[in-house]
Amino acid sequence: MNAKSAISKEIFAPHDERMLGAVQVKRRTKKKIPFLATGGQGEYLTYICLSDLSSLDGLSWKGSCNINFLLDEITMTNKKPAQASITKVKQFEGSTSFVRRTQWMLEQLRQVNGIDPNRDSPEFDLLFENAFDQWVASTASEKCTFFQVLHHTCQRYLTDKKPEFINCQSKIMGGNSILHSAADSVTSAVQKASQALNERGERLGRAEEKTEELKNSAQQFAETAHKLAMKHKC
């Protein structure tokens, strides 16, 4: 079981949440953490997770969003979410389990900084009402995917006080997101299949017309031959 699946099962499933994705991160700047705050000194892996908490019943979230985000985990509940939050999850060296650490409501997110809008880069910053973190994602592609989903989630579930996205590539903000690309791919495949069926139908139609013509020609030939045979008999 990979880390994301384990986090989903261990951290979110018990709370009736479904993890859509996550991204593994490291701090760009060292931060001293007290011994008591970490439960012990040692190395650890960090995942930033986005999750949705539900207070409504019966409406499922449809979609296959097992997307690799910035291990800023994006989780969705099995029911339509009323709230969303960003959670920091850690795995300490020598341990196979994960620990839920700091958590912020999505409304507390004030700014998402992509650092460089002109190139793919793994660096980014998250500014909350009471915190500021500078991260480096495992890969630039994981960061990009996470940003796309985070932006989509903010647009969908925040009516006001939406965070500012700055220094982000246009593919994150615009219609070229992974969600739109997937939809475009499906639409394109359907159109190609439909076109192929239409072309096949046209070919079959032409073949049927040709067959009918040959049938008529054969019938006319048979009638002519019959007439000639009758004429010779006479």
**In terms of Cα–Cα distance, which of 119, 167, 125, 131 is closest to 27?**
125
Do 115 and 16 fall into the same domain?
yes
Do 167 and 209 fall into the same domain?
no
Q: Do 146 and 21 form a contact (C-beta atoms < 8 A)?
A: yes
Do 50 and 103 fall into the same domain?
yes
207-215 long-range contacts, Cβ below 8 Å, gap at least 24?
A: none
Q: How far is CA 194 from CA 99, 138, 189, 198, 200, in A?
A: 50, 41, 9, 6, 10
The first and second tokens of residue 98, run together, are 């994960």
Range of the domain at 74: 3-32+39-54+69-174
In the chain (234 residues long), the average pLDDT of successive 10-residue segments reads 86 81 86 54 87 54 42 49 82 92 92 95 95 95 91 86 93 60 55 71 77 79 72 63
pLDDT for 56:
43
pLDDT for 206:
78
- C-alpha span between 133 and 111 (Å, rounded): 11
Q: Which of 128, 145, 174 is the last residue of a domain?
A: 174
Q: What is the three-class DSSP state of 53?
A: strand
Do 86 and 138 fall into the same domain?
yes
Do 48 and 76 fall into the same domain?
yes
